[in-house]
């Protein structure tokens, strides 16, 4: 009997129970295929880091005595599709069993499920096993929210805290007497404490990058192949986690929502790539943060704010994804259709906040949460950009972007394109919020205080126009009543001026 075990590019967990024994009849299969690189155009660093991480895991498994079949992108036998390669390998190894860890993406799940069923006719048993990564199962959020119209993250998060005993006192009350320290976590960053030095370890991957380019894989963004700095195996990921806890976690809470042109990730962890490729388990990250609080190294507000992202948001968006797929990636509540301006691909816009956030996304394959939500996403929603085009851009550009986590964040949280399944109101703002949370407006050629003049910050007219345009869909939302009270105080001439200014901005998106 021979058995194949497929390891996907986001399943780089060397601690999976699969690897606890060495079996000479089991062949571990990793493959670099165009069907996975080409479904959207990806950032160069994302392709490079995933391939380099897969190669590293393949090497480690071999070194531990496992049999490994690594199908490289330029391997002449590579049929460039997961299932075509599996067909060839089943035949080559005369395999009677194939196992794969549950994919996180609906598309691949469906492809492998269909392929597995078809194998039965050939006498090959195909089994899906747990990826042993998440706290929750795919269907848990759906069960928790059954019958509820609104899926409140806070409700989910509190259940998770209790069930997993995270930040809980002995009397089953939340540590510090409160569940949520969000109010303490909204400071702008005055420039101190300094952004910690980059704790990552760059590696030279120029040879691999040449191979990827020669294979013709479509890409954009800066490869930084000579100094690729994302963790490529569990050992590095653990070092990154330790460095984050040591140097940044104590300030994570205070400046979680801050924006600045003087840094690129402030006190954020940069752990999403290691988490989403499963080099790290969310439990160990949560535990490390919790220990930092118990040891007196980081305040509770910072630790709670950080844990909420992982135990709360990360598991919750996964539940939203599985509950609403297929179909979720096509939602478009507001019917927005404008194509992305060209500067999404080169970063050359005069809006200082957008230039920084988009430019950094292209150079680093990374932007922190508030850049993604309140800068790029905010602009896209106000300007009425096509949510599917935006979804593809986000899915391609970020090092950590995998559809199960990217789509609910982009289409749900950021674009409200699902009509409010996961956000209680659209996350939009005018220049006032951006100025309050950051330092981009100082020195920006646009005037943050002006709404209609030639130098007016585009966020202002677009903000009011968004609410005017979607009056029918938004006015009854109690969380935005204030906005409509202000609109009602405007006279019709003022409303018309806003509409005209916004239409002009949208006509010239490429020139902003
Ligand atoms: C429009 C948009 C698109 C996004 N796309 C992705 C994506 O493709 N992949 C992705 O992992 N995250 C995504 N996020 C969530 C979040 O922005 C990133 O997880 C975070 O910026 C990653 O950087 P970090 O590791 O430094 O995070 P930190 O700020 O240090 O947070 C710690 C960890 O919490 C988790 N986390 C934080 N916020 C969220 C969230 N909203 N949803 C799920 N997990 C969260 C991540 O695992 C992250 O590593 C998106 C957010 C928005 C608004």
Q: Assess whether the C-beta atom of 153 lies below 6 angstroms from ligand 1.
A: no
| Dist. CA 272 → ligand 1 center (Å) | 6
Query: In this predicted structure, what is the pLDDT of residue 145?
Result: 86
Structural tokens at position 99 = 């196992």
Kindly state whether residues 144 and 118 are assigned to the same domain: no
Residues with Cβ within 8 Å of residue 397, at least 6 apart in sequence:
43, 220, 221, 361, 362, 365
What CATH code is carried by the domain that includes residue 287? 1.25.40.80
- Quote the DSSP letter at residue 194: P
Is 236 within the bounds of a domain? Answer: no
Ligand 1 pocket residue status of 309, Cβ below 6 Å: yes
CB of 368 closer than 6 angstroms to any ligand 1 atom: yes
**Cα 277–chain centre separation:** 12
Residue 105: CB within 6 Å of ligand 1? Answer: no
Q: Are residues 77 and 168 in the same domain?
A: no
Last residue within a domain, chosen from 72, 94, 129: 129
Are 22 and 170 in the same domain?
no
Say yes or no: 111 and 13 in one domain.
Answer: yes
| Cα–Cα separations (whole angstroms), residue 480 to 271, 408, 429, 467, 477 | 34, 22, 12, 9, 6
In this structure, is residue 332 part of a structural domain?
no
* Measured distance CA(490)–CA(49) in Å, rounded: 52
Q: Are residues 308 and 348 in the same domain?
A: no
Residue 47: which CATH number? 3.40.50.620
* 387 and 457 part of one domain: yes
Q: Please count the structural domains in the chain.
A: 3
| Ligand 1 atom nearest 398 alpha carbon | 8
Q: Is 360 in the pocket of ligand 1 (CB under 6 A)?
A: no
State whether the beta carbon of 276 lies less than 6 angstroms from ligand 1: yes
* CA dihedral sign of residues 74, 51, 49, 64: negative
Task: Report the distance separating Cα 397 and Cα 321, nearest Å.
Answer: 20
Q: Which of 244, 405, 408, 428 to mutate to test the pocket of ligand 1 (most atoms within 8 A of CB)?
A: 405
Question: At which of 129, 150, 183 does a domain end?
Answer: 129
268 lies in some domain: yes
| Strand ranges of the sheet holding 97-101, from the earlier edge strand across to the other edge | 67-71, 26-31, 3-7, 97-101, 125-129
CA distance 172 to 289: 20
In terms of Cα–Cα distance, which of 178, 14, 11 is closest to 103?
11
Q: Is residue 239 part of a domain?
A: no
What CA–CA distance (Å, rounded) separates 345 from 450? 28
Atom 44 of ligand 1 has which residue's CA nearest to it? 314
Which among 104, 129, 154 is the end of a domain?
129
The beta-carbon contacts of 355-363 under 8 Å, at least 24 apart in sequence, are 356/261, 356/440, 360/264, 361/221, 361/397, 361/398, 362/43, 362/220, 362/221, 362/222, 362/397, 363/221, 363/222, 363/224
Same domain? 161 vs 305: yes
Is the same domain home to 158 and 124? Answer: no
Q: What is the pLDDT of residue 170?
A: 87
**Ligand 1 touching residue 372 (CB < 6 A):** yes
| Residues 280 and 144 occupy one common structural domain | yes
Nearest CA to ligand 1 atom 22: 272
**CATH number, domain containing residue 460:** 1.10.579.10
Same domain, 348 and 464: yes
pTM of the model as a whole: 0.98
Q: Is 305 in the pocket of ligand 1 (CB under 6 A)?
A: no
Residue 323: C-alpha distances to residues 71, 99, 187, 261, 327 (Å): 34, 25, 35, 38, 10
| Ligand 1 pocket check for 46: Cβ under 6 Å | no
CA of 369 to the centre of ligand 1 (A): 6
Per-residue pLDDT, 415: 98
Rounded CA separation 330/388 (Å): 7
The pair of structure tokens assigned to 191 is 């420039």
Q: With a 6 A CB cut-off, is 401 part of the ligand 1 pocket? A: yes
Domain span at residue 124? 3-129
Helices (H), 65-175: 82-92, 106-119, 140-144, 153-164
Confirm whether 464 is domain-assigned.
Answer: yes
Cα(270) to ligand 1 centroid in Å equals 9
For residue 171, what pLDDT is reported? 85
- Write out the two tokens for 328: 């979720």
What is the pLDDT, as a whole number, of residue 166? 98
- Who contacts 384 (Cβ-Cβ below 8 Å, separation ≥6)? 334, 336, 337, 338, 466, 469, 506
Question: Exposed/middle/buried for 435, CB within 10 Å: 0-12, 13-18, 19+?
Answer: buried
Q: Are residues 314 and 350 in the same domain?
A: no
443: region left, alpha or beta (phi > 0 left; psi from -120 to 50 alpha): left
Which string of b and e fits 94-115 if b means at least 16 CB within 10 Å?
Answer: ebbbbbbbbbbbbebbebbeeb
Residue 277 lies inside a defined structural domain of this protein? yes
For residue 462, count CB atoms less than 10 angstroms from its CB and return exposed for 0-12, middle for 13-18, buried for 19 or more.
buried
Instruction: Kindly give the number of the ligand 1 atom that is closest to the alpha carbon of 414.
Output: 1
**Helix, strand or coil, per DSSP, at residue 129:** strand
How would you write the pLDDT of the chain (512 residues) with one tens digit per residue?
799 999 999 999 999 999 999 999 999 999 999 999 999 999 999 999 999 999 999 999 999 999 999 999 999 999 999 999 999 999 999 999 999 999 999 999 999 999 999 999 999 999 999 999 999 999 998 888 888 878 899 999 999 999 999 999 988 899 999 999 888 778 999 999 999 999 998 999 999 999 999 999 999 999 999 999 999 999 999 999 999 999 999 999 999 999 999 999 999 999 999 999 999 999 999 999 999 999 999 999 999 999 999 999 999 999 999 999 999 999 999 999 999 999 999 999 999 999 999 999 999 999 999 999 999 999 999 999 999 999 999 999 999 999 999 999 999 999 999 999 989 999 999 999 999 999 999 989 999 999 999 999 999 999 999 999 999 999 999 999 999 999 999 999 999 999 999 999 999 999 99
- The answer to whether position 488 is within a domain reads yes
Residue 172 pLDDT: 87
Cβ–Cβ under 8 Å, residues 66 and 26: yes
How many Cα atoms occupy the beta-carbon half-sphere of 331 within 13 Å?
24
What are the contacts of 389-395 at 24+ separation with CB within 8 A? 389/339, 389/340, 390/340, 390/415, 391/329, 392/40, 392/41, 393/340, 393/344, 395/40
**Is residue 212, in this structure, part of any structural domain at all?**
no
Q: 99 pairs with which residues across the strands?
A: 5, 127
Q: How far apart are the C-alpha atoms of 461 and 84, rounded to whole Å?
A: 52
- CA nearest 223: which of 47, 41, 401? 47
pLDDT at 287: 98
Which three-class secondary structure string do you get for 342-396? HHHCCCCCCCHHHHHHHHHHHHHCCCCHHHHHHHHHHHHHHHCECHHHHHHHHHH
317 C-beta closer than 6 A to ligand 1:
yes
Please work out whether the CB of residue 268 comes within 6 Å of at least one atom of ligand 1. Answer: yes
pLDDT of residue 149: 79
Whole-number pLDDT of residue 144 = 85
Regarding whether 192 and 260 lie in a shared domain, the answer is: yes
How many angstroms does the Cα of residue 482 sit away from the middle of ligand 1?
29
């Amino acid at each position: 009997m021979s058995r194949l075990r497929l390891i996907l590019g986001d399943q780089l967990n060397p601690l999976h129970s699969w690897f606890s024994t060495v079996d000479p009849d089991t062949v571990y299969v990793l493959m670099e295929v165009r069907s996975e690189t080409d479904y959207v155009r990806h950032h160069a660093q994302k392709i490079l880091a995933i391939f380099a991480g897969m190669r590293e895991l393949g090497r480690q498994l071999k070194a531990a005595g496992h049999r490994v079949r690594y199908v490289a992108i330029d391997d002449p036998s590579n049929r460039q599709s997961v299932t075509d390669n599996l067909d060839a390998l089943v035949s080559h190894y005369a395999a009677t069993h194939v196992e794969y860890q549950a994919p996180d993406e609906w598309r691949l799940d469906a492809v492998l499920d269909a392929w597995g069923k078809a194998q039965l006719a050939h006498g090959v048993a195909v089994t899906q096993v747990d990826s042993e990564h998440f706290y929750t199962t795919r269907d848990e959020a759906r069960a928790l929210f059954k019958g509820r119209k609104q899926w409140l993250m806070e409700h989910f998060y509190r259940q998770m805290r209790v069930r997993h005993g995270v930040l809980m006192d002995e009397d089953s009350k939340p540590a510090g007497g409160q569940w949520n320290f969000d109010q303490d976590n909204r400071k702008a960053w005055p420039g101190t404490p300094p952004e910690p030095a980059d704790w990552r370890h760059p590696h030279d991957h120029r040879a691999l990058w040449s191979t990827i380019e020669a294979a013709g894989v479509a890409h954009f963004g800066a490869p930084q192949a000579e100094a690729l700095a994302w963790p490529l195996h569990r050992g590095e990921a653990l070092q990154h986690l330790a460095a984050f806890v040591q140097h940044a976690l104590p300030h994570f809470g205070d400046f979680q929502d801050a924006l600045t042109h003087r840094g690129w990730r402030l006190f954020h962890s940069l752990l999403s790539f290691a988490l989403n490729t499963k080099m790290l388990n969310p439990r160990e990250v949560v535990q490390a943060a919790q220990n930092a609080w118990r040891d007196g190294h980081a305040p509770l507000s910072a630790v709670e704010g950080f844990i909420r992202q992982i135990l709360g948001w990360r598991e919750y968006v996964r539940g939203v994804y599985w509950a609403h797929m297929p179909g979720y990636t096509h939602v478009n509540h507001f019917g927005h259709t404008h194509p992305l301006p060209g500067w999404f691909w080169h970063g050359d816009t005069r809006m200082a906040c957008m230039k920084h956030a988009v430019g950094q996304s292209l150079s680093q394959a990374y932007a922190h949460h508030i850049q993604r939500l309140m800068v790029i996403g905010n602009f896209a929603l106000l300007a009425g950009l096509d949510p599917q085009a935006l979804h593809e851009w986000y899915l391609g550009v970020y090092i950590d972007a995998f559809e199960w986590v990217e789509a609910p964040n982009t289409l749900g949280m950021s674009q409200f394109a699902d009509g409010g399944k996961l956000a209680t109101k659209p996350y939009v703002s005018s220049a006032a919020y951006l100025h309050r949370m950051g330092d981009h407006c100082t020195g920006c050629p646009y005037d943050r205080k002006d709404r209609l003049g030639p130098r007016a910050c585009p966020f202002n007219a677009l903000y009011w126009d968004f609410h005017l345009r979607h009056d029918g869909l938004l006015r009854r939302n109690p969380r935005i009543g204030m906005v409509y009270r202000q609109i009602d105080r405007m006279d019709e001439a003022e409303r018309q001026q806003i509409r005209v200014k916004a239409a002009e901005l949208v006509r010239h998106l490429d020139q902003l």
